[in-house]
Amino acid sequence: MAIKADVQLDAKGLACPMPIVKTRKAIKDIEEGQVLEIQATDKGSKADLAAWAQSTGHQYIGTNEEGGVLYHYIRKCSDGDVAEKSFEPTISTEEILNKDGLILDVREEAEYAFGHIENAKSIPMGDLEARLDELDPEQEIYVICRTGKRSDLAAQKLAAKGFKKVYNVLPGMKDWNGPVVKETE
């Protein structure tokens, strides 16, 4: 069954946060009630776009995959600009080295395997909801991704589920200068 979309957006070949950045720009140009189709190849875009839509008040309709391309569908649900929620508190990548809490890496498994902070726990954003029982709601949790966008959405989700000591790590692994553990060697 073909899904009718009013506007198509090509985000193939782009990694986080670019599918969200392009989606945010494209959704501003469509009318309330219209459906935006986002074509992406980044596997993390499924969780990222669903969380982004929820945080901005738009309806995440779903995703189909065909030939290695993910087709995401989002309905614009408000008229005018939607204010995105941004998670506070934040902490810098340098500051987490001196902390005793859990570093939660919400990047995809492949991203984690090619370089992560020692002792970081990997729970990809798309698996977070189903794996909340692996986390202690009383522990300090430092959520990190590649750029800070996905971790922002994950931190919002944890806080909404009752986790009290959550921090979004900025700017993320792309600017991490500390040692990394690779599981690919």
- Angle, to 10 degrees, between the axis of helix 45-56 and the axis of helix 149-160? 60
Choose among 71, 81, 73, 75: nearest CA to 58.
75
Choose among 16, 66, 57, 15: nearest CA to 37.
66
Edge-first strand order for the sheet with 90-92 is 90-92, 166-170, 141-144, 102-105, 121-122
Active site residues: 16
15 close to 42: Cβ distance less than 8 angstroms: yes
Which residues 6+ apart lie within 8 Å of 136 measured at CB?
102
Q: Which residues of 166-181 are buried (b: 16+ CB within 10 A; e: fewer)?
A: bbbbbbbbeebeeeee
